[in-house]
Amino acid sequence: MVHSKLYLLLPLFFLFSSCSEASTEQTASLLRDDASMMPDTTGLAKATFAGGCFWCTEAYFERVEGVEAVISGYSGGKEANPTYEEVSAGRTEYAEAVQVYYHPDKISYHELLEVFFATHDPTTLNRQGPDYGKQYRSIVFYRTPEEKQMIDAYIAELGKAGTYKNKIVTKVQPFRKFWEAEDYHQDYYIHNPGNPYVQSVAKPKVLKFEANFRNKLKPEYRD
């Protein structure tokens, strides 16, 4: 699978561009800066999710009231210092993931689970829309036994309610390590509004999320 975010911009149309395609020149010239995007985490709780392309997942969570910051990165693998080129090509065990920094007195972990499961398809194995491969698998990473119990209970609740036609295949795994993605991936949705993938895939999802979760949106996204 082409991993270099090279969008083939044809004169009148483009064909099925995905999160795993971007400018080769951009990828080569912009390197990860591990400290640059990290927020002040004092007093904040953390939650880590993998739900397909991290451009989309990051955009959803950034709109949630009580969420202070969202960082795109990689989790679920063992290799040290994974790069986007390696992860997006499926050469590692990592999935594209986001780390959510939130105020637990403003939004609960259970509410974050609700947002996560409502903003991607947890029934498709190793695929989200046009993005396919194990790097796009659905995972919730828990940090405490209480979080694991909450995740398992919520998945069981969704199954009992028949929320999805097919069985939920989301993995529930202990959190081990989160590697921050390269700088150009951070806030990609905001900084690249004209990108074909953002326009055709991410934006419709974000607009749907804003319409369905107005009670959880930050004030600036409610208008």
pLDDT tens-place string over residues 56-103: 999 999 999 999 999 999 999 999 999 999 999 999 999 999 999 999
The pLDDT value given to residue 37: 53
The pLDDT value given to residue 10: 30
Beta carbons of 62 and 68 less than 8 angstroms apart: no
Tell whether the model's pLDDT for residue 26 goes beyond 60. Answer: no
Tell whether the model's pLDDT for residue 1 goes beyond 90. Answer: no
Residue 53 annotated in active site: yes
Return d(Cα 8, Cα 199) in angstroms, integer.
14
Which residues share a beta bridge with 111?
A: none
Tell whether the model's pLDDT for residue 3 goes beyond 90. Answer: no
Average pLDDT over every residue of 127-150: 97
Question: What percent of the chain stands above pLDDT 70?
Answer: 83
Q: Determine whether 188 is exposed, middle or buried from the number of CB atoms within 10 Å of its CB (0-12, 13-18, 19+).
A: buried
Residue tagged active-site, from 50, 53, 70, 158: 53
pLDDT band at 18; cut points 50, 70, 90:
low
The residues spanned by each domain of the chain are 43-214
The SS3 call for residue 218 is coil
Tell whether the model's pLDDT for residue 2 goes beyond 50. Answer: no
The pLDDT value given to residue 169: 98
Rounded to 10°, the helix 109-118/203-212 angle is 130
The pLDDT value given to residue 38: 64
Average pLDDT over every residue of 35-61: 87
pLDDT in tens, 179-215: 999 999 999 999 999 999 999 999 999 999 999 999 9
194-216 burial: b if 16+ Cβ within 10 Å, else e: ebbbbeebbbebbeebeeebeeb
- CATH 3.30.1060.10 for the 43-214 domain, yes or no: yes
The pLDDT value given to residue 19: 78
The pLDDT value given to residue 22: 53
Return d(Cα 146, Cα 25) in angstroms, integer.
45
State pTM to two decimals: 0.86
